[in-house]
Each structure stands twice: as structure tokens, then as C-alpha cells.
Amino acid sequence: MIVADFIERFEAYCPPSLAEEGDPIGLQIGDRNAVVKKILVTLDVRPQVVAEAIAAGVDLIFAKHPLIFRPAKTITTDNPQTKMYLDLIQHQIAVYVAHTNLDIVPNGLNDWFCEALEIQETDYLTPTHTKKFYKLQTFVPASHTTILRDALANVGAGVLGAYQGCAFTSAGTGYFTPNVEAKPFSGTKNQPSAVPEEKLEVSFPEELLAMVVETVWQHHPYEEPVLDIFLDEGKRENYGLGRVGNLATPIPLADFIQRVKKTFAVPTVKVIANDPQQMVQRIAICGGSGEKFYPDAIRQHADVYITGDVYYHTAHDMEALGLTVIDPGHYIESFCKEKLVRLFNSWQLEKEEDLTIVASKVNTNPFSFQ
């Protein structure tokens, strides 16, 4: 496997298009054509993590938080933060980042939180994206339908849920008259022609539009293929940050707080609650720093909102509006490490690849509990 192979597989599961605008994701350091035999999964890329990767002979670091969040004005060995960039380059360790796209994607971090906390019947907390779908219709000589259909499937068109290569064909006859300048695949110049054709129809997401058009031009035998592309009004996919859902039955807030602490292995949490004795059932959660989304938790009638890094004055606003909030800190996102290792290993088993994938053992939480 090379770096580009891994990126292609990951981005098929977690597209970069889901990330919030301006989010620095993707390959931040490294060679896309470098061979990968060992991957280290981490929440943060810190000097201690880089040292761990070097000692373990890692070829690729997969991180949830960007290595380069803001432009570096200098890259020198004087600053441990920038020295690690040089260490990564010197040891030819690539770094790939999935940030808000991993928060948003179905079966991503916020869904893993809900699963661990037994939150069911979930929906998005804050809508972010609506993916549009288009439908292609083109007319192909029957002898080339399978060739074009397979080529379109290979670039990702025709995926419907768990089904790939979905398409529809219907038989008909194509009529045309090539002029003297034409180079027809079939027929004779200046002579009317009638050719058995099939109308090929396939659906695809908007990000594949350019690739689908290019594929048709590459694999269609006609000099001037007909492409009808229109918006598929019956198919859209909605995405969003955070999740909101329900516990199976209402439970006391105190019991739910204990569940949060146990699930995320934190000794303490910050709580905003006007009624510490309340029963709770509808839960909203957004990993990381999600305080700005608290109005969505209220709008979605959440009894409790779980998120990190709640600001003092924002907490006053939450309290005034009667929203109960649990702040277990930003570091609960480290929950993703073991989940990603299992996910990547499941992909490896599908292709029988010889790849070692490990979770970082470094605790990158800058805060301690005294």
C-alpha cells in the first residue's frame, strides 16, 4: 500500500467535501507515493507523538486534529512545535488529518459517542451539508454498454446505499447521418444510419460530476456522445455536526453524569444545571468545542447538551435559558483512536493487506485533574 491508496480508501468513507469550509484537512506532510507498512492513529500530533512514531517505525500518522492549524512563520529546531515538522520530514513520516469531516460523516465520531452512551434514534444537531445527486442519461451502441457502465461504476457512480454499480438500460434505435467531416464509429458519411443502442442511466453525487463527464468521453465509442445530466430531485443526503437522540428511558441527571464520566474515563466533568434532580432522556452531543451550537440543542428540545470547552459567559447564557450542559473536556475525542484502528483493520481484512495499525499511547491532554 502507498499513502495515496490509504487516502483513497479513507476518503471514500469520509469525503473531504463534508469538512467545514477552511478546515485544514487531508495530507499535511508527506509523499503520496510513499509505501505504508505501519500507521499510528492519534488525536493530536505533538512532539511526544512524533517521537513515539519515530521509535515505532511508523510511515503514516493519522490524526483527528490538524498538525498545521495556522501558518508557521518559521520552522526551526528552537521551537519544539516546529521542530517536530522537521523530524517528520527527516524520518519520512506522512501526516494525514480528518477533522470536521470525521465529526460529520455517518458512522463517525459523534455516532460513536452516541453508541457508547446508549443514545438512540439519532439525528444531526446542526445541519451543515446537503449533498445533491445528478442522473446521467447517454445513448450507447449495445456492444459498448457494459464497457461504459463498468467504467462509470469504477469512478463511484451508481452507488445506492449498500449497492454498487447500479444502472438502468433500455433498448432503442439511434438515427444519425455523418457529414463529410465526421469520423463515425459506425455508418457511412452522407448516408442515414440506424444503430441498435441502449439508453444508459446512472445516478451519482455532485462531487463526481466532472469525473463522470470525463469517463463518458473516455469510454464512449461515439465521436459526439449525447450526455443528458439533470438534478435528481428524488435523492438528497443531509449531513450535520453533532447528534441528538434519546435514551431508552428517562434517568436521573446524576446517573447520566456518571455514565458520561465512565464512558470517557474522566474523573470530573463541569455541569450547568438549574435542576440537579431532573430526569433526562433527550441528549445532544458535539465532540470538541461545540458551545456555539447550544441554541440547536435547545431548538431540538434536548434535556442535556454534552460538549467541551464551554466558555464562562456562554455558560451563563446556557443557564439562563434552562439548558443542562455537561462539559467533559475536549480530550474525549481521543475516543476515536481505538475506533479508527478497528475500522482501518476491517478494511485491511477485506483486501488482505499486510499493514500494522496501532493507536498512539501518548496522552496529549494538556490538562490534568488534581
pLDDT tens column, 209-226: 999 999 999 999 988 899
Decide if pLDDT at 73 tops 90. Answer: no
Percent of the chain residues past pLDDT 90, beyond the cut: 81
Backbone angles phi, psi at 119, to 5 degrees: -95, 125
The verdict on residue 174 lying in a domain is yes
The verdict on residue 119 lying in a domain is yes
Q: How confident is the model at residue 304 (pLDDT cuts 50, 70, 90)?
A: very high
What is residue 186's predicted lDDT score, i.e. its pLDDT?
Answer: 82
Percent of the chain residues past pLDDT 70, beyond the cut: 99
- Rounded Cα–Cα distance for residues 10 and 337 (Å): 15
Domain count, the chain: 3
Q: How confident is the model at residue 87 (pLDDT cuts 50, 70, 90)?
A: very high
Domain of 177, in residue numbers = 130-237
- Whether residue 255 is found in the same domain as residue 314: yes
Decide if pLDDT at 161 tops 90. Answer: no
| Least confident piece of the model among 57-66, 119-128, 344-353, 361-370 | 344-353
The verdict on residue 55 lying in a domain is yes
Check residue 141 and give left, alpha or beta (phi > 0: left; psi -120 to 50: alpha). beta
The verdict on residue 277 lying in a domain is yes
- Whether residue 167 is found in the same domain as residue 150: yes
- Rounded Cα–Cα distance for residues 97 and 148 (Å): 35
CB-based contact 269:254 (threshold 8 Å): no
What is residue 3's predicted lDDT score, i.e. its pLDDT?
Answer: 96
- Whether residue 247 is found in the same domain as residue 149: no
Which helix (H) or strand (E) covers residue 113, if one does? helix 109-117
- Whether residue 121 is found in the same domain as residue 258: yes
- Whether residue 233 is found in the same domain as residue 243: no
Dump pLDDT digits (tens) for 146-157.
999 999 999 999
- Whether residue 123 is found in the same domain as residue 143: no
Mean pLDDT of the chain: 94
Q: How many CB atoms lie within 10 A of CB 54?
A: 15
Dump pLDDT digits (tens) for 169-221.
999 998 989 898 888 888 788 889 898 999 999 999 988 999 999 999 999 99
Q: Look at residues 148, 178, 182, 179 and name the one whose alpha carbon lies nearest to residue 165.
A: 148
The verdict on residue 258 lying in a domain is yes
- Whether residue 94 is found in the same domain as residue 108: no
What is residue 352's predicted lDDT score, i.e. its pLDDT?
Answer: 66
- Whether residue 184 is found in the same domain as residue 214: yes
Backbone angles phi, psi at 351, to 5 degrees: -110, 0
What is residue 162's predicted lDDT score, i.e. its pLDDT?
Answer: 81
CA dihedral (181, 186, 191, 194) in degrees, to 10, reads -140
What is residue 144's predicted lDDT score, i.e. its pLDDT?
Answer: 93
Which whole number is the average pLDDT over 339-349?
91
- Whether residue 310 is found in the same domain as residue 252: yes
User: Which among 237, 258, 293 is the end of a domain?
Assistant: 237
Q: Domain containing 204 — which CATH number?
A: 3.30.70.120
Q: Domain containing 303 — which CATH number?
A: 3.40.1390.30
User: Which among 220, 237, 254 is the end of a domain?
Assistant: 237
Dump pLDDT digits (tens) for 227-260.
999 998 888 889 999 999 999 999 999 999 999 9
The verdict on residue 370 lying in a domain is no
Decide if pLDDT at 115 tops 70. Answer: yes
What is residue 180's predicted lDDT score, i.e. its pLDDT?
Answer: 83
- Whether residue 62 is found in the same domain as residue 203: no
